Amino acid sequence: MAINVGDRIPDVTLMKMTDKGPAPVKTGEYFKGRKVVVFALPGAFTPTCSNQHLPGFIQKSDTIKGKGVAEIACVSVNDAFVMGAWGKAQGAEDKVTMLGDGNGDFTKALGLDFDGSGFGMGTRSLRYSMLVDDGVVKSLNKEPNPGEAKVSGADNILAQL
């Protein structure tokens, strides 16, 4: 069953690339006591993700954070190495935190996974964005068309803040 507005984010571990290598990010601690915008997408370096979704949040990061958001996080079912490299390639440093969900634990716990095996991608995340306040989902925007980043994009999150 998919997560809904009003639900608490499940406590799982994501991974973030640091100067010393991959580091665990426990979601229970990460979301506690602050407002975070999370957006997820099917894969790093894929066309819609690289050309629309991530760039929109990078470009609007100052405006989003100016509305009281402590952090913007991008999640994908990729490892921390890939997410770190993609973030650098896109200029996400200090704007968007790149979190790897390599085994899809977070994505599956949210119930927002899909089978991309037909495309050689295995289990992946649906494209979505959400506002999380102190670990509770305040808004959830699931993209009806995976080839677009409109409903789940930065402009829609801004309108919800």
- Would you call 74 a catalytic residue per the annotation? no
- 35: tokens are 């407002």
Annotated catalytic residue, options 25, 36, 49, 137? 49
Could you tell me if 58 and 86 are in contact, meaning their C-beta atoms sit under 8 angstroms apart?
A: no
Alpha carbons within 13 A on the beta-carbon side of 73: 23
Task: Give the DSSP letter of residue 53.
Answer: I
Q: CB of 23 within 8 A of CB of 15?
A: yes
Provide the sign of the torsion angle of the four alpha carbons 102, 103, 107, 112, taken in this order: positive
Q: Residue 20 and residue 59: Cα distance in Å, rounded?
A: 27
Where in the sequence numbering do the catalytic residues fall? 49
